[in-house]
Chains A and B, each alone.
Chain A
Amino acid sequence: MGVESTRSRLVRRLRTRSGDWGGLLLGVTGSGCSGIQSALDPAGADAARIYWLTIILAIGGALIFVGVTALLLYAIFAAPARRAWLGGRRTIVYGGLAFPIATLSLLLPYGLTVMRDVDAPAEDALQIEIIGEQYWWRVRYPASREQPEIVTANELRLPVGQPITISVTATDVIHSLWIPNFGGKIDMIPGRVNRLSFTAERAGRYRGVCAEFCGDQHARMAFDVLVVDAAGFAAWRAAQAEGAREPPTPFLQRGRDLFRSGGCGSCHAVRGIEASGTFGPDLTHVGSRRTIGAGQLPNNIGTLAGWIANTQHIKPGVRMPSYGMLSGEDLRALAGYVESLK
């Protein structure tokens, strides 16, 4: 525990400094670099290592670039007598052969060291499984010790400071899991299981996206990552393991009945109301998620109703059809029920 907190303090410090560096180095709008989906705003040791690698590579590259450009301009514009020393075969041997070999010989071991230290699985890591599907994320926390399995979608909740190992694969086409604030990406390939290990060391909300082109709605395949403290995580996990909440009002009960009669359960699972479809996301606790549509819209009754009625307009090509035939009242009841599944 002590080690962990030291580490996270270290990362916090790194982060503050790196934020300055990033702004200084890249000279872009300040808001850009620090963000919920930015490799330049690391929130874990792995991402921080890669961040510093990025900074060193960028500074080194910039210096070499300035040097080469300066030499080129000197070769063009300096007086012939002054630039004569540059015009021999020696320049090529030193500049084009010796210098790159020396630089790369230094760079390569550093890069390999970073590679060794980043994405290294830890013994006690929290295991998570994510399956990429067109165009959403199936998330499973397998049972471990006394914790039961939980299944959710399009949202990842992580305990701060605990090592994480995510096993990924895909059932349809290749996707790629990328949460820039925590480290690199890992491809989700049908028939193969890949692993990504990292530790989230700063609580907060982040965003992951699909990085491998996966079809029509590749652009709209994202998810939230919520990093919470250990107690919050435990509470969330316990809540997720529960069955679905009974609708407390007649209006919401009507929504549940519509959910049943409308056949929603043939694609979606809601544990507790004999809806056990596995084709689409598990909705048992969909109301507890921040967003819907794989990170597309904030989660509330209005957006849920809009989504149900207009999926094909909001995210054309998505597997779920638009249910535009529902009356306004029915739609509100259904959306209300779904929203109540906290």
Chain B
Amino acid sequence: MSALEFPEPAERAPSDFPNPLPRPEGEFDALKNTWHPPRGISFITAVNNTYVGLWYVATAFLFFVLAGILALMMRAQLAVPENELIGHDLYNQLFTMHGTVMMFLFAVPAVEAASVYLLPNMQAARDLPFPRLSAYAFWAYFVGGLVFFSTIFFGLAPNGGWFMYPPLTGTTYSPADNADWWLLGIGFIEISAIAGAIEIIVGVMKTRAVGMSLDKLPVYSWAMLVFAAMIVVGFPAIILGTLLLEMERAFDWPFFIAARGGDPLLWQHLFWFFGHPEVYIIFLPATGMVSMIVPAMAQTPLVGYRLVVLALIATGFLSFGLWVHHMFTTGLPKMSLSFFSAASTAVAVPSGIQVFAWITTIAAGRMKLTTPSLFVIGFLFIFTLGGLTGVMVAVAPFDWQAHDTYFIVAHLHYVLVGGMVFPLFAAFYYWVPVASSRALSERLGRWVFGLMFLGVNITFLPMHVTGLIGMPRRVYTYPVGMGFDALNLVSTVGAFMIAAGVAIFLFDMVRNFRFAMENNAGNVWNASTLEWLPNGNYGTRSIPAVNSREPLWDQPNLSREVEAGRYYLPGTVTGGREALVTSPFDARPQYILQIPGPGWQPVLAAVFTAAFFLLLTVKLIFPSFICGVLAVGCVIWWLWETDPGPVRPPADIGGGFTVPVYVTGPMNHSWWAMIVLMVVCGMIFTCLIFSYLFLWLVNPGAWPPAHVTLPEAVWPFLAATLYAAGAFAIMRASRLLRGDARSAPRPVPILIGTALVLTCGASAVDFLTLWQTGLSPSVHAYGAAVYAILSLQVFFVMTTFIMGLYTIARWLASKLDPVRRTTFDNMMLFWYYTTGQGLAGLLVVHGFPRLTGGS
């Protein structure tokens, strides 16, 4: 019987449920025991999404409060003109840290954190597919974020603005470590974000309730899917940007130094190719939350579901075509300004669709004015205004006036506070009953809303005028008599009102939040989606089958039946933690994913990763190196326990589905994750090639510069042949790993070893070829770009090397055979990618200058 052909719930006979009652003795206890968190100090090794999700949300909120305090200090300084409260040095650190912490340590982690908690619940999955990866992402962020933030107490915080424009952030004008803190600190927080994005993509696509086909997916899941895809495409640009700037700072490779062929604008392109989508990366998950809250509050399904989903996807696409609107004053030709102006206004359309979908839904239902509703209304009010000023600044000539003034400060806060903070507070009030045995106070909630709503408008509405009458942003003080005084004082008063609102919220949390697993406050809003099912650490007792977008409204007895264990997989079939993997489109059960449980590995790996980057920042190279090795070691230790193989024959999960507990190939969740990771890597490489070509456009007559000789063509051909031969050896090994045998043929490790030698050899030839020509990376941007392409390739070859050795070790330990070959598959995919990147790099480095007629 198919999951998609259930009869209507009302007329369903007992036999129509996937599993019969009563359930076997001890089945539920076994499930509970499996998912029990570790006790004592080991509690921090918990990896379950319920714990990690809440820690993650709490940490993100901590950074919101901290960055908010920085903002209050700035507002105090600006309250009166020529104020001497805070000096320029601290002030410049304050605004840099406020922006950086709010964007990188609060906004992105907060929405990612919320989804770690919510997504599995909403899709009735037991956990996310890679819980240890979530734990790793969280701990790296927690440790690294706190250390990064604490630099403000030592005067070491970055002070070049959150967009870190070189040359101001180069060594000449920022010789101290402050800028390095930003580059390395943010660098690995981005890695944490990408880890989360991979998790979310695979989670949304592969772990859902049975029958939750794409057209029944909660809008929030859609939003998170688009969010994660945008991170995958957008973050690589900033990762590459920070790499290039750090290489310039550390090794004097002149990517952004005009005197040596570099260009400061390259950074701006890379930064804003990430930076603009970043705004939507923050905003889309928040709209996803609103699209869940509005139907619950209005007690009616979302009107225009398909339009809203289309709007989410359209926003994702369009947001990558407008980065130049942050660069309208950089002197680009009016022709290209026109294009980006048009694209920037166009993005208002999908936002309009969403706003009208919510208004329509409210009109179709009966809106209860609860605290979540108030925050949603506040969001619509503030965000609409921010969106309209967004259209204003999309019109280039207006932006020439408004750019880098307080008008922009006003606009961006309307968009981000309205578009993200208000929905997040709505989400807190709305979803706390899932995680707590008590809901938050409606009475206090009204105060929180009132203070924050008035505060935001009092702070930021006057700033529109402050900017247009001439106050630039990022100034630590301003002269008397310019007409700025009164407006600034009003803004300062408003800022403290927001703070008061947040303080009451914290009080409310302390008073009412009581962590609960199985005795949560329940479905207090009579909402329709699966996170309101009775649940525990294990998620829901059995994995429900759904046949609508509002399962709790359309299947009235669902809660009871799920809790009784009548649906799929009501216990554990392997004796360990499991998730049911479903097909990506129509969500049919595919296999049982054996999920790793608590462990020190992700915690230690994260701590060492953070230590690696942080020690590198303060130039403690050797300890940093040790930590890097330890981090890799911990990751290997962690991975060693994965890829368990088919520990038992296919299991009956009910409803006639007998599914395997282990699969390999394109159906496998880690195959998907690997593909996403390859997209990330491919984007980093693409951005690097873009940088190479951009620098060529800046130096059209000097590519390569006059003193550079190109190596003879035979060497790159040799390197290419070696790369190809290495990949071919891996392909042979893969062929040998076919069939059902449970032991791996001996040639497999030999082939992998051969491939390792060939690939490393290719990389060495590649390097020596350039080295022998005497090309220097620090004389001219050409050399810097070439060596950057080479360095990235060497990094990938080194990673491949470790993966190859690891795979051989798996063979030696008899953990690799034609059936149990996920480890091999992952290595193989990565190997093919490294080969492709190596060949493309050779083509560009050695082919392009010949094409452009270099010497």
Residues of A within 8 A of B (CB): 26, 28-29, 31-33, 35, 37-40, 47, 49-50, 53-54, 57-58, 61, 64-65, 68-69, 71-72, 74-76, 78, 80, 83-84, 86-89, 91-93, 95-97, 99-101, 104, 107-108, 111-112, 114-116, 118-119, 134, 172-174, 176, 178, 180, 183-187, 189-192, 194-195, 207, 209-220, 316-317
Picked from B167, B329, B385, the residue with its CB within 8 Å of the CB of A187 is B329
Picked from A74, A76, A80, A184, the residue with its CB within 8 Å of the CB of B401 is A184
Q: Is the beta-carbon distance between B167 and A68 smaller than 8 angstroms?
A: no
Residue on A with the closest CB to B405? A211
Q: Is the beta-carbon distance between B364 and A87 smaller than 8 angstroms?
A: yes
Q: Is the beta-carbon distance between A89 and B360 smaller than 8 angstroms?
A: yes
Q: Is the beta-carbon distance between B88 and A217 smaller than 8 angstroms?
A: yes
Cα–Cα, bound, A58→B258 (Å): 39
B559 contacts A by Cβ under 8 Å: no
A189 cross-chain contacts in B, Cβ below 8 A:
258, 264-265, 330-331
B735 contacts A by Cβ under 8 Å: no
B263 contacts A by Cβ under 8 Å: yes
B342 contacts A by Cβ under 8 Å: yes
Cα–Cα, bound, A64→B363 (Å): 19
Q: Is the beta-carbon distance between A100 and B349 smaller than 8 angstroms?
A: yes
Contact A211-B472, Cβ < 8 Å, known A75-B362, A87-B363, A108-B342: yes
Q: Is the beta-carbon distance between B359 and A114 smaller than 8 angstroms?
A: no
A39 cross-chain contacts in B, Cβ below 8 A:
401-402, 468-470
Total chain B interface residues with beta-carbon distance under 8 A: 86
Q: Is the beta-carbon distance between A115 and B334 smaller than 8 angstroms?
A: yes
Shortest C-beta distance, B74 to chain A (Å), equals 12
Q: Is the beta-carbon distance between A95 and B167 smaller than 8 angstroms?
A: no
Picked from A50, A176, A219, the residue with its CB within 8 Å of the CB of B88 is A219
Contact A184-B403, Cβ < 8 Å, known A219-B475, A219-B477: yes
B437 contacts A by Cβ under 8 Å: no
A180 cross-chain contacts in B, Cβ below 8 A:
401, 468-470
B778 cross-chain contacts in A, Cβ below 8 A:
none
Residue on B with the closest CB to A178? B472
B87 contacts A by Cβ under 8 Å: yes
Picked from A54, A65, A211, the residue with its CB within 8 Å of the CB of B384 is A65
Q: Is the beta-carbon distance between B487 and A28 smaller than 8 angstroms?
A: yes
B404 contacts A by Cβ under 8 Å: yes
Which of B388-396, B749-757, B843-851 contacts its partner?
A: B388-396
B111 contacts A by Cβ under 8 Å: no
Picked from B160, B384, B468, B487, the residue with its CB within 8 Å of the CB of A38 is B468
Which of B183-191, B478-486, B710-718, B829-837 contacts its partner?
A: B478-486
Picked from B392, B404, B465, the residue with its CB within 8 Å of the CB of A176 is B404
Chain B CB within 10 Å, residue with most, of A186, A210, A215: A215
Cα–Cα, bound, A58→B392 (Å): 8
Q: Is the beta-carbon distance between A35 and B470 smaller than 8 angstroms?
A: yes
Contact A76-B470, Cβ < 8 Å, known A54-B398, A183-B400, A211-B403: no
Q: Is the beta-carbon distance between A174 and B355 smaller than 8 angstroms?
A: no
B338 contacts A by Cβ under 8 Å: yes
Cα–Cα, bound, A120→B471 (Å): 25
Q: Is the beta-carbon distance between B404 and A212 smaller than 8 angstroms?
A: yes
B542 contacts A by Cβ under 8 Å: no
Contact A211-B404, Cβ < 8 Å, known A115-B397, A187-B330: yes
Q: Is the beta-carbon distance between B88 and A186 smaller than 8 angstroms?
A: no
Cα–Cα, bound, A180→B172 (Å): 31
Picked from A84, A100, A195, A213, the residue with its CB within 8 Å of the CB of B474 is A213
Contact A92-B401, Cβ < 8 Å, known A58-B392, A115-B334, A178-B472: no
Cα–Cα, bound, A92→B363 (Å): 12
Picked from A53, A65, A87, the residue with its CB within 8 Å of the CB of B388 is A65
A-B pairs with beta carbons under 8 Å apart, 17 shown: A31-B483, A39-B401, A53-B398, A65-B388, A72-B362, A74-B363, A84-B364, A97-B349, A101-B349, A104-B346, A108-B341, A111-B397, A116-B334, A173-B168, A186-B329, A213-B92, A213-B160
Residues of B within 8 A of A (CB): 87-89, 92, 160-161, 165, 167-168, 172-173, 258-259, 262-265, 303-304, 307, 311, 329-331, 334, 337-338, 341-342, 345-346, 348-349, 352-357, 359-367, 369, 377, 380-381, 384-385, 388-389, 391-392, 395-405, 462, 465, 468-470, 472-478, 482-483, 486-487, 698
Q: Is the beta-carbon distance between A72 and B359 smaller than 8 angstroms?
A: yes
Q: Is the beta-carbon distance between A40 and B469 smaller than 8 angstroms?
A: yes
Picked from A40, A97, A213, A317, the residue with its CB within 8 Å of the CB of B168 is A213
Picked from B338, B360, B470, the residue with its CB within 8 Å of the CB of A115 is B338
Contact A111-B483, Cβ < 8 Å, known A28-B465, A32-B469: no
B381 cross-chain contacts in A, Cβ below 8 A:
69, 72
Shortest C-beta distance, B256 to chain A (Å), equals 9
B307 cross-chain contacts in A, Cβ below 8 A:
89, 92-93, 96-97
Contact A107-B345, Cβ < 8 Å, known A61-B391, A76-B377, A316-B87: yes
Picked from A97, A107, A191, A209, the residue with its CB within 8 Å of the CB of B263 is A191
A112 cross-chain contacts in B, Cβ below 8 A:
338, 341
Picked from A40, A91, A134, the residue with its CB within 8 Å of the CB of B360 is A91
Shortest C-beta distance, A327 to chain B (Å), equals 28
Picked from A68, A92, A185, the residue with its CB within 8 Å of the CB of B357 is A92
B482 cross-chain contacts in A, Cβ below 8 A:
35, 37
Cα–Cα, bound, A337→B381 (Å): 60
Q: Is the beta-carbon distance between B356 and A96 smaller than 8 angstroms?
A: yes
B476 cross-chain contacts in A, Cβ below 8 A:
219
Cα–Cα, bound, A217→B472 (Å): 13
Q: Is the beta-carbon distance between B349 and A214 smaller than 8 angstroms?
A: no
Residue on B with the closest CB to A37? B470
A47 cross-chain contacts in B, Cβ below 8 A:
401
Chain B CB within 10 Å, residue with most, of A65, A75, A176, A217: A75
Contact A50-B398, Cβ < 8 Å, known A187-B330, A192-B265: yes
Q: Is the beta-carbon distance between A95 and B352 smaller than 8 angstroms?
A: yes
Shortest C-beta distance, A23 to chain B (Å), equals 11
Chain B CB within 10 Å, residue with most, of A99, A107, A212: A212
B331 cross-chain contacts in A, Cβ below 8 A:
186-187, 189, 192, 194-195
Shortest C-beta distance, A71 to chain B (Å), equals 6
B401 cross-chain contacts in A, Cβ below 8 A:
39, 47, 50, 54, 180, 183-185
Cα–Cα, bound, A28→B381 (Å): 22
A99 cross-chain contacts in B, Cβ below 8 A:
352
Shortest C-beta distance, B199 to chain A (Å), equals 32
B88 cross-chain contacts in A, Cβ below 8 A:
216-217, 219, 316-317
Contact A57-B353, Cβ < 8 Å, known A29-B486, A38-B470: no
Picked from B389, B392, B397, B470, the residue with its CB within 8 Å of the CB of A207 is B470
Picked from B92, B330, B404, the residue with its CB within 8 Å of the CB of A216 is B92
* Interchain residue pairs A-B with the least CB separation, the first 8: A184-B400, A191-B258, A87-B364, A96-B356, A194-B331, A37-B470, A219-B475, A86-B363
Picked from A183, A187, A218, the residue with its CB within 8 Å of the CB of B475 is A218
Q: Is the beta-carbon distance between B363 and A115 smaller than 8 angstroms?
A: no
B404 cross-chain contacts in A, Cβ below 8 A:
176, 178, 185, 211-213
Cα–Cα, bound, A93→B349 (Å): 11
Residue on B with the closest CB to A58? B392
Residue on B with the closest CB to A42? B401
B380 cross-chain contacts in A, Cβ below 8 A:
68-69, 72
B470 cross-chain contacts in A, Cβ below 8 A:
35, 37-39, 180, 207, 209
Picked from A31, A72, A172, A316, the residue with its CB within 8 Å of the CB of B167 is A172
Residue on A with the closest CB to B353? A96
Shortest C-beta distance, B485 to chain A (Å), equals 9
Cα–Cα, bound, A106→B167 (Å): 40
Picked from A50, A71, A174, the residue with its CB within 8 Å of the CB of B264 is A174
Q: Is the beta-carbon distance between A32 and B487 smaller than 8 angstroms?
A: yes
Shortest C-beta distance, B707 to chain A (Å), equals 20
Q: Is the beta-carbon distance between A100 and B363 smaller than 8 angstroms?
A: no
A65 cross-chain contacts in B, Cβ below 8 A:
384-385, 388
Residue on B with the closest CB to A85? B363
Q: A187-B330, A215-B92 are in contact. List 11 more A-B contacts (CB 8 A).
A: A50-B397, A75-B359, A75-B360, A95-B360, A100-B348, A112-B341, A115-B341, A119-B400, A187-B329, A189-B264, A213-B474
